[in-house]
A and B are shown apart, each in its own frame.
Chain A
Amino acid sequence: MAEHIVPIKTYVIIFLALMVLTVVTVLAATVDLGAFNTLVALSIAVLKATLVVLYFMHVRYSSRLTWVFVVAGLFWFGIMIAFTLSDYVSRPWIPVVSGQ
Chain B
Amino acid sequence: MAESHTTHAHTGLAHHFDNMEQQKEAGTLGMWAFLVTEVMFFGGLFMAYILYRASYPDAFASASSHLNWKLGAANTVVLIVSSLTMALAVYYSQIGNRKLLMAMLVLTMILGATFLVVKAFEYNDKYVHHLIPGFGFQWDGAGNPQNVQMFYWIYFAMTGVHALHMIVGLGIMAVILYMAKRGRFTPEYHSPVEISGLYWHFVDIVWIFLFPLLYLIGAHESH
Within the assembled complex, what's the spacing in Å between the Cα atoms of A58 and B86? Answer: 12
Q: Is A88 an interface residue (CB 8 A)?
A: yes
B54 touches A88 (CB 8 A): yes
Minimum C-beta distance from B35 to chain A (A): 7
B205 touches A26 (CB 8 A): no
Within the assembled complex, what's the spacing in Å between the Cα atoms of A52 and B33? Answer: 17
A15 touches B28 (CB 8 A): no
Taking A29-B219, A66-B28 as contacts, is the C-beta distance between A85 and B83 under 8 angstroms? no
> Beta-carbon contacts of A5-37 to B below 8 Å, as 1s and 0s?
110100110010011001001100111110001
Q: Is B117 an interface residue (CB 8 A)?
A: no
Query: Contacting chain A: which of B69-77, B135-143, B166-174?
Result: B69-77
A19 touches B43 (CB 8 A): no
Taking A62-B28, A66-B29 as contacts, is the C-beta distance between A45 and B40 under 8 angstroms? no
B212 touches A25 (CB 8 A): yes
Number of interface residues of A (CB under 8 A): 48
Per a CB cutoff under 8 Å, which of A11, A69, A76 touches B29?
A69
Per a CB cutoff under 8 Å, which of A26, A38, A73, A77 touches B73?
A26
Taking A3-B94, A5-B95, A11-B84 as contacts, is the C-beta distance between A25 and B216 under 8 angstroms? yes
Name the A residues within 8 Å of B81 (CB-CB): 15
Q: Is B56 an interface residue (CB 8 A)?
A: no
Minimum C-beta distance from A92 to chain B (A): 12
Who on chain B is nearest to A17 by CB?
B80
Q: Is B125 an interface residue (CB 8 A)?
A: no
A11 touches B87 (CB 8 A): yes
Taking A22-B80, A73-B36, A80-B47 as contacts, is the C-beta distance between A8 and B91 under 8 angstroms? yes
Known contacts A57-B197, A84-B51; 12 additional CB pairs below 8 A are A5-B95, A11-B84, A12-B84, A15-B80, A26-B73, A33-B220, A37-B220, A42-B213, A55-B87, A56-B86, A73-B35, A77-B40
Contacts A/B (CB < 8 Å), 8 sampled? A1-B21, A22-B73, A29-B220, A31-B220, A37-B220, A48-B205, A52-B201, A55-B87
